[in-house]
């Protein structure tokens, strides 16, 4: 999962669709000159559009992993089954909780806080915090999952700290698995928001904040009336990208809890995998995947609208 | 940055953040700036503490003779954890598989992306804007969601459990973003330099490889390294598409340590995790340095 941030990439774009018109050299109007886009287009059609179309097809069949010669068309049965399925509703709810805590409240807010603290702090502390937060982001997903598994486990670091503070400890991965994986996702993903907001904050002209201060605006007023409105496009993009990324988290949760115990951290991607492979219901699992894809597509459309001026 | 004064005259004079003499009212303004900085430092240190603990555990456990699940200074130093995992079966084969898989996929992504970026950046056609919008749209799609149908398709066309099939898919999954990024970097290369090459009779391919790509070196490096890092860390794609144990890349083979969590060898798992993570950390430092500070890549990309 990846996408762009308008603050940085946007700067490279001098105008709509690339080079300014006068610089755009009109060579022979030969359609063959578009040939170079063929390899990318073929790959995208075969390995991305193909599976999506296939997804839309099997979602309406009763395909199973084994033992069935022909899958037959069942209409909306998979979808009606999903909405009546308690486990599905549970996993929609968990996905919402996971997204709300880890993406919207966690990564986004913590990223903004970190970026604004960094703008004021001592250079040494800024560099070392940046390095550590970014390391957590660059580490492979599965390593991050494994590190946070030990951190939250019964004999892990978190309980050790709580015991030292004379606070009650508990088996976090068992009692509050969805909270544990949400914090794990915050640990892993905050760096991106931090980088986006650092770039956005550095583009606010000093004069604006200074003159507000001259006019007697307190720091909260400056944040609310100046900083936030000036970086609102970055906030929109960042929220959108964080949410899309969080919707498709699989490895992190798989490494920490495998969706358990008893499905209490089973977000939609894990549910989809579980139905398709452990329960062999490919058709049903794909229907869930299609729903996930549609939600993702809706978010992408909003993102495109935010980015429209950049293309 | 510089302390901000409440007196209008100094503010007007200062304009940008130039270190300057502190204004009147000694103490109040200066100490306020210092207080703000100290508060910011303190806040960062708290976050740093929380973020660094799992990483400290990783390093301690990898050299500890008796590693446990909590952060603790090693009870005795040892390199045994590393020497135990440095075998063909545990480390070298999965790492080589990762390298083959991600290396070939990165090569495909970067080649296809630079080719596609060229006409998109240089020519104008009615479909280039919709094309780019579609590309941008695909960068956001949750790839996780298509993995079940991809598995189904790969079974039908006999690409399941093959390195080349998996690397085709990995390459495609990074392609939309690579095209988008590459096109934007290419827009930054002035066309005048290319025109010189055209006058000398160079073809578009020569212009691309000899003039444009070298000129957008840092941008090209960013796309390459970023794609590679993303693929190296990808777990779900090889987890779904590769089955034979001897073909598994490091991201999936690490699960053999998890096997049964009761008897897990934490020291060895930590040592393996370090070995597996080091290449991407080094690569990130490489491009972050090249771009003058780690902030540029992050400003441009999403992980």
Rounded to 5 degrees, what are φ and ψ at B75?
Answer: -75, -25
Residue A108's pLDDT is what?
A: 92
The pLDDT of residue A204 is above 70: yes
Paired strand residues for B77: B64
Measure A85 CA to nearest chain B CA, in Å.
19
Measure A43 CA to nearest chain B CA, in Å.
6
The pLDDT of residue B105 is above 90: yes
Residues in chain A closer than 8 A to B43 (CB atoms): 113, 117, 121
Q: Per-residue confidence at B293, pLDDT binned at 50, 70, 90?
A: very low
Distance from C-alpha of B12 to C-alpha of B10, rounded to nearest angstrom: 5
Question: What DSSP letter does each residue of B122-191 carry, written as one string?
Answer: H---TTHHHHHHHHHHHHHS-HHHHHHHHHHHHHHTT-TT-HHHHHHHHHHHHHHHHHHHHHHHHHTS-H
Fold of B84-300: MetI-like fold (1.10.3720)
Residue B300's pLDDT is what?
A: 43
Distance from C-alpha of B186 to C-alpha of B293, rounded to nearest angstrom: 21
Measure A248 CA to nearest chain B CA, in Å.
5
Distance from C-alpha of B69 to C-alpha of A155, rounded to nearest angstrom: 6
**A157–B57: do the CB atoms touch at under 8 Å?**
yes
Question: Which of A122-136, B18-32, B252-266 has the least mean pLDDT?
Answer: B18-32
The pLDDT of residue B187 is above 90: no
Distance from C-alpha of B211 to C-alpha of A34, rounded to nearest angstrom: 19
If contacts are CB pairs under 8 Å, which of residues 57-116 in chain A contact chain B? Answer: 58, 63, 110, 113-114
Tokens of B231: 């693929």
Tokens of B154: 């790969």
Question: What number of C-beta contacts closer than 8 Å exist between A and B?
Answer: 375
Sequence spans of domains, chain B: 24-78, 84-300
- Number of CB atoms found within 10 A of residue A219's CB: 11
Residue B260's pLDDT is what?
A: 53
Nearest CA in chain A to B138: A300
Q: Per-residue confidence at B259, pLDDT binned at 50, 70, 90?
A: low
Average pLDDT value for residue range A88-113: 91
Q: Per-residue confidence at B221, pLDDT binned at 50, 70, 90?
A: confident
User: Which residue has better confidence, A134 or B204?
Assistant: A134
Pick from B145, B198, B301: which is nearest to A292 by CB? B145
Average pLDDT value for residue range B204-223: 84
Distance from C-alpha of B216 to C-alpha of B195, rounded to nearest angstrom: 16
User: Which residue has better confidence, B130 or B264?
Assistant: B130
Average pLDDT value for residue range A71-84: 82
Distance from C-alpha of B299 to C-alpha of B35, rounded to nearest angstrom: 29
Residue B291's pLDDT is what?
A: 58
Distance from C-alpha of B95 to C-alpha of B253, rounded to nearest angstrom: 9
Measure B178 CA to nearest chain A CA, in Å.
9
3 state SS of A206? helix
- Cβ-contact A292, A87 below 8 angstroms: no
Average pLDDT value for residue range B274-286: 90
Tokens of B70: 């909590």
**B143–A5: do the CB atoms touch at under 8 Å?**
no
The pLDDT of residue B3 is above 60: no
Question: Which of A197-206, A211-220, A285-294 has the least mean pLDDT?
Answer: A211-220
Average pLDDT value for residue range A149-177: 86
The pLDDT of residue A124 is above 50: yes
Measure B69 CA to nearest chain A CA, in Å.
5
Average pLDDT value for residue range A91-111: 91
Distance from C-alpha of B115 to C-alpha of A258, rounded to nearest angstrom: 41
Decide if the complex's ipTM is over 0.90.
no
Q: Per-residue b/e over B274-298, b at no fewer than 16 CB within 10 Å?
A: bbbbebbbebbeebbeebeebbbbb
Q: Per-residue confidence at B6, pLDDT binned at 50, 70, 90?
A: very low
Pick from A63, A133, A153: which is nearest to B69 by CB? A153
Average pLDDT value for residue range A171-194: 90
pLDDT mean across residues, chain B: 81
Fold of A56-310: MetI-like fold (1.10.3720)
The pLDDT of residue A140 is above 70: yes
**B281–A135: do the CB atoms touch at under 8 Å?**
yes
Q: What is the DSSP letter of B26?
A: T
Residue A77's pLDDT is what?
A: 81
**A4–B180: do the CB atoms touch at under 8 Å?**
yes
Residues in chain A closer than 8 A to B40 (CB atoms): 117-121
**A157–B269: do the CB atoms touch at under 8 Å?**
no
pLDDT for B33-47, tens place per residue?
788 888 889 999 999
Distance from C-alpha of B169 to C-alpha of A49, rounded to nearest angstrom: 12
Question: From residue B2, how far is each of A126, B67, B236 by CA, in Å?
Answer: 16, 47, 47
Residues in chain B: 303
pLDDT for A242-284, tens place per residue?
888 898 899 999 988 888 788 888 999 999 999 888 888 888 8
Sequence spans of domains, chain A: 56-310
- Cβ-contact A275, A281 below 8 angstroms: yes
Nearest CA in chain B to A201: B299
Residues in chain B closer than 8 A to A1 (CB atoms): 140, 142-144, 302
Residue B136's pLDDT is what?
A: 85
**B140–A269: do the CB atoms touch at under 8 Å?**
no
CA–centroid distance for A224 within its chain: 26
Residue B34's pLDDT is what?
A: 85
- Cβ-contact A137, A187 below 8 angstroms: no
Nearest CA in chain A to B37: A121
């Amino acid at each position: 999962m990846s996408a762009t941030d308008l603050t940085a990439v946007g700067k490279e774009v001098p105008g709509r669709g690339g080079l300014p018109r006068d610089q755009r050299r009109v060579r022979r109007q030969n359609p063959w000159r578009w040939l170079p886009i063929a390899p990318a287009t073929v790959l995208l059609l075969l390995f991305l559009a193909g599976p999506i179309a296939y997804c839309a097809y099997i979602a309406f069949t009763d395909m199973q992993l084994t033992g069935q010669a022909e899958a037959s068309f069942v209409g909306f049965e998979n979808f009606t089954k999903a909405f009546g399925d308690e486990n599905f509703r549970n996993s929609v709810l968990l996905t919402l909780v996971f997204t709300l805590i880890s993406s919207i409240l966690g990564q986004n807010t913590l990223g903004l806080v970190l970026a604004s603290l960094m703008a004021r702090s001592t250079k040494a502390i800024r560099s070392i915090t940046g390095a550590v937060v970014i390391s957590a982001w660059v580490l492979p997903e599965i390593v991050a999952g494994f590190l946070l598994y030990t951190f939250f486990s019964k004999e892990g670091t978190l309980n050790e700290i709580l015991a030292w503070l004379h606070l009650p400890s508990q088996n976090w991965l068992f009692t509050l698995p969805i909270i544990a994986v949400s914090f794990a996702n915050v640990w892993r993903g905050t760096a991106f928001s931090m980088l986006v907001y650092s770039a956005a904050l550095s583009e606010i002209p000093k004069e604006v904040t200074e003159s507000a201060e001259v006019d007697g605006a307190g720091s909260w007023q400056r944040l609310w009336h100046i900083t936030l409105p000036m970086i609102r496009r970055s906030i929109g993009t960042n929220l959108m990208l964080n949410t899309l990324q969080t919707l498709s988290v699989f490895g992190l949760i798989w490494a920490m809890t495998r969706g358990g115990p008893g499905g209490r951290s089973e977000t939609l991607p894990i549910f989809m995998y579980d139905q398709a492979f452990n329960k062999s219901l490919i058709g049903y699992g794909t229907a869930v995947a299609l729903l996930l894809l549609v939600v993702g597509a809706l978010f992408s459309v909003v993102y495109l609208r935010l980015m429209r001026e950049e293309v | 940055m510089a302390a901000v004064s409440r007196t209008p005259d100094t503010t007007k004079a200062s304009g940008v953040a130039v270190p300057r003499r502190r204004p009147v009212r000694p103490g109040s303004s200066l100490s306020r700036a210092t207080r703000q900085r100290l508060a910011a430092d303190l806040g960062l240190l708290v976050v740093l503490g929380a973020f660094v603990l799992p990483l400290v555990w990783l390093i301690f456990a990898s050299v500890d003779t008796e590693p446990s699940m909590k952060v603790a200074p090693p009870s005795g130093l040892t390199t045994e954890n590393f020497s135990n995992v440095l075998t063909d079966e545990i480390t070298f084969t999965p790492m080589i598989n990762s390298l083959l898989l991600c290396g070939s996929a990165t090569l495909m992504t970067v080649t296809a992306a630079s080719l596609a970026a060229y006409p998109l950046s240089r020519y104008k056609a009615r479909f280039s804007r919709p094309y780019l919008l579609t590309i941008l749209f695909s960068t956001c799609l949750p790839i996780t969601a298509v993995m079940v149908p991809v598995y189904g398709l790969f079974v039908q066309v006999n690409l399941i459990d093959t390195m080349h099939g998996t690397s085709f898919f990995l390459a495609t999954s990074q392609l939309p973003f690579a095209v988008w990024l590459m096109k934007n970097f290419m827009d930054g290369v002035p066309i005048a330099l290319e025109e010189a090459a055209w006058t000398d009779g160079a073809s578009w391919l020569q212009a691309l490889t000899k003039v444009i790509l070298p000129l957008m070196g840092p941008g090209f490096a960013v796309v390459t390294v970023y794609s590679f890092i993303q693929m190296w860390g990808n777990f779900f794609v090889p987890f779904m598409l590769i089955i034979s144990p001897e073909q598994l890349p490091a991201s999936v083979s690490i699960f053999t340590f998890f096997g049964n969590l009761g008897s897990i060898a934490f020291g060895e798992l930590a040592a393996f995790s370090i070995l597996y993570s080091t290449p991407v950390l080094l690569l990130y430092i490489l491009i972050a340095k090249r771009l003058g500070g780690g902030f540029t890549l992050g400003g441009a990309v999403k992980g």
